[in-house]
């Protein structure tokens, strides 16, 4: 764990001999990753790779709760940052052992002593081999210190005396993530904590259940069973459970169905809304409606957490999967903008061209957050009315069942393109638009100070002598 761009995924790539960093847009981790690695001594470690961007705080909390040891990654040339401190606090609150890992030690401007002082400022004293908090310097370029880091992980695990029950009747664990595959259905990534997960067992998480049809390891190989502390992906659930939810297997379909019915009733009773395929529309003044589509459940969680910080934005639907025709129809019905994160638009071009509102696709989380910040800024801007001209009604003409009001410009100018308000005895009696302005029966766009003109007002003909017409424009402040 740690701040964005401090080398977390690059370190994991070196240990795994993989190239995960190339798979993520913007060269930053935007999805929770979980991988099992066989070390040289034939022992295994499961690593959880968490995004370091500030938006992924909920994912980091979940990752901490399911971990036995936390590696806090600190770039030797950048020092402690916001998410470094946040990750340390999460680990301390859960009483999980920490190893501090200093990356990028090959860089010229590294300053380990400064990092030690920064840690002391938050009451953390680090040591290479003894004490409450260990540390290790590593280089991803030449592998320096990585073997020692692995040794420290195994030494702490021995002290923790980690054990689990393989003989338990029901297998249980944690949902890591989930997404919808067009051909295979819901694919759920999970971590087994207790018991043995096997093909053919019935599994449930939240309000979803199903029979396990296929199991894949983290290298996408088809397997028959999974032991504790190993990650896997399964096919068989009838929906997409929340990231961080517990799962368990009960090899009794009727019993599972009864439990699911009770859970759904409880949800309805307490008005808890399911995170996926969520639809809620309430007419809220001065709020812009959005539909959110994401690639995986954890992305939806993160995006929702971020958007809920903005006062003037209303999510009417959020779900995993690509943007479809039903999303566009919903957008048209409720005047909504569609936001997609790492998804495609599965709609023909004509439908997209006819859409009343825009579709925005993002691949990098901070681009999406900046978009919403700009939207909220525009929504929060106040409109200031700037008076550009004032005129007075001096005569009323009746022509062909229409009333034309003769006026004189007192100051400024009266312009057809600007809105107007009519005042009688200093009270506003009407706000609207000008239908036409005439001088000597000729249509004009504008009349300046001390000039006389005739005016026809849209949807209003109840003017009286001495009424004041103000022409104004709105300015966002």
How many Å apart are CA 47 and CA 10, to the nearest integer?
13
pLDDT in tens, 101-148: 999 898 888 888 999 999 998 888 888 777 788 999 999 888 899 999
How many Å apart are CA 367 and CA 331, to the nearest integer?
22
Q: What is the pLDDT of residue 148?
A: 93
What does each C-alpha distance from 71 to 58, 91, 106, 295 come to in angstroms?
18, 10, 20, 27
pLDDT in tens, 302-314: 888 777 777 777 8
**What is the crossing angle of helices 297-307 and 57-65, to 10°?**
130
DSSP 200: T
Domain locations in the chain?
8-160, 172-270, 278-377, 383-476
Q: What is the pLDDT of residue 395?
A: 93
Is 465 strand, coil or helix? Answer: coil
Q: What is the pLDDT of residue 65?
A: 83
Give me 354's structure tokens: 């006819």
Alpha helices in 133-252 (DSSP H): 146-160
For the cut 90, the answer to whether the pLDDT of residue 412 exceeds it is: yes
Q: What's the whole-number mean pLDDT along residues 421-431?
A: 92
Using pLDDT thresholds of 50, 70 and 90, give the confidence band for residue 278.
very low
Q: What is the pLDDT of residue 376?
A: 63
Using pLDDT thresholds of 50, 70 and 90, give the confidence band for residue 367.
confident
Q: How many CA atoms lie within 13 A of 125 on its CB side?
A: 3
CATH code of the region 278-377:
3.40.50.10050
CB 307 within 8 A of CB 313: yes
Q: The tokens 């229409």 sit on which residue?
A: 402
Q: The tokens 């957050």 sit on which residue?
A: 369
CB 405 within 8 A of CB 465: no
Q: What is the pLDDT of residue 279?
A: 41
CB 451 within 8 A of CB 390: no
CA 235 to chain centre: 25
Give me 413's structure tokens: 């100018």
pLDDT in tens, 217-272: 988 899 999 999 999 999 999 988 888 889 999 988 899 999 998 888 877 665 44
CB 16 within 8 A of CB 23: no
For the cut 60, the answer to whether the pLDDT of residue 88 exceeds it is: yes
For the cut 60, the answer to whether the pLDDT of residue 94 exceeds it is: yes
Q: What is the mean pLDDT of the chain?
A: 84
Is 320 strand, coil or helix? Answer: strand
Fold of 172-270: Elongation Factor Tu (Ef-tu); domain 3 (2.40.30)
Q: What is the pLDDT of residue 70?
A: 93
Q: What is the pLDDT of residue 388?
A: 92
Using pLDDT thresholds of 50, 70 and 90, give the confidence band for residue 27.
low
Within this chain, domains 8-160 and 278-377 share the same CATH topology: yes
Fold of 8-160: Rossmann fold (3.40.50)
Domain 383-476 has CATH 2.40.30.10: yes
């Amino acid at each position: 764990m740690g701040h964005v761009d401090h080398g977390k995924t690059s370190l994991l790539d070196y240990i795994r001999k993989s190239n995960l960093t190339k798979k993520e847009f913007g060269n930053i981790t935007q999805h929770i990753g979980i991988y099992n690695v066989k070390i040289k001594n034939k022992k295994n470690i499961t690593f959880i790779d968490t995004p370091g961007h500030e938006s992924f705080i909920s994912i980091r909390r979940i990752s901490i709760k399911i971990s036995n040891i936390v590696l806090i990654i600190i770039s030797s040339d950048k020092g402690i940052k916001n998410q470094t401190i946040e990750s340390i606090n999460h680990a301390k609150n859960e009483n999980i052992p920490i190893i501090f890992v200093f990356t990028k030690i090959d860089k010229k401007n590294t300053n380990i002593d400064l990092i030690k002082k920064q840690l002391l400022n938050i009451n953390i004293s680090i040591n290479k081999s003894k004490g409450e908090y260990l540390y290790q310097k590593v280089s991803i370029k030449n592998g320096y210190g990585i073997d020692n880091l692995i040794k420290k992980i195994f030494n702490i695990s021995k002290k923790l005396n980690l054990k689990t029950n393989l003989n338990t009747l029901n297998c249980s664990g944690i949902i890591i993530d989930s997404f919808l595959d067009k051909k295979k259905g819901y694919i759920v990534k999970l971590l087994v904590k207790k018991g043995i997960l096997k093909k053919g067992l019935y599994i449930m998480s939240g309000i979803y259940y199903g029979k396990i049809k296929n199991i894949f390891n983290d290298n996408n190989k088809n397997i028959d069973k999974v032991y504790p502390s190993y990650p896997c992906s399964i096919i068989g659930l009838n929906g997409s459970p929340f990231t961080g939810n517990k799962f368990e297997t009960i090899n009794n379909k009727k019993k599972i169905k009864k439990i699911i019915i009770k859970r759904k009733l409880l949800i309805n009773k307490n008005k808890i809304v399911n995170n996926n395929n969520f639809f809620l529309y309430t007419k809220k003044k001065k709020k812009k409606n959005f539909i959110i589509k994401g690639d995986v459940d954890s992305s939806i969680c993160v995006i929702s957490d971020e958007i809920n910080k903005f006062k003037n934005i209303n999510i009417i639907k959020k779900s995993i999967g690509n943007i479809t025709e039903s999303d566009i129809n919903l957008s048209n019905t409720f005047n909504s903008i569609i936001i997609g994160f790492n998804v495609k638009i599965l709609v023909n071009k004509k439908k997209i061209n006819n859409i009343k509102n825009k579709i925005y696709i993002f691949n990098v989380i901070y681009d999406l957050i900046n978009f919403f910040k700009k939207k909220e800024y525009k929504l929060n801007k106040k409109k200031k009315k700037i008076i550009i001209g004032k005129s007075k009604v001096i005569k009323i003409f009746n022509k062909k069942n229409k009333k034309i009001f003769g006026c004189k410009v007192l100051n400024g100018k009266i312009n057809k393109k600007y809105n107007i308000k009519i005042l009688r005895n200093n009270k506003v009696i009407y706000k609207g638009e000008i239908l036409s302005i005439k001088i000597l029966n000729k249509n004009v766009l504008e009349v300046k100070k001390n000039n006389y003109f005739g005016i026809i007002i849209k949807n209003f003909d109840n003017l009286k002598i001495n009424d004041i017409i103000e022409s104004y424009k709105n300015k966002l402040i």
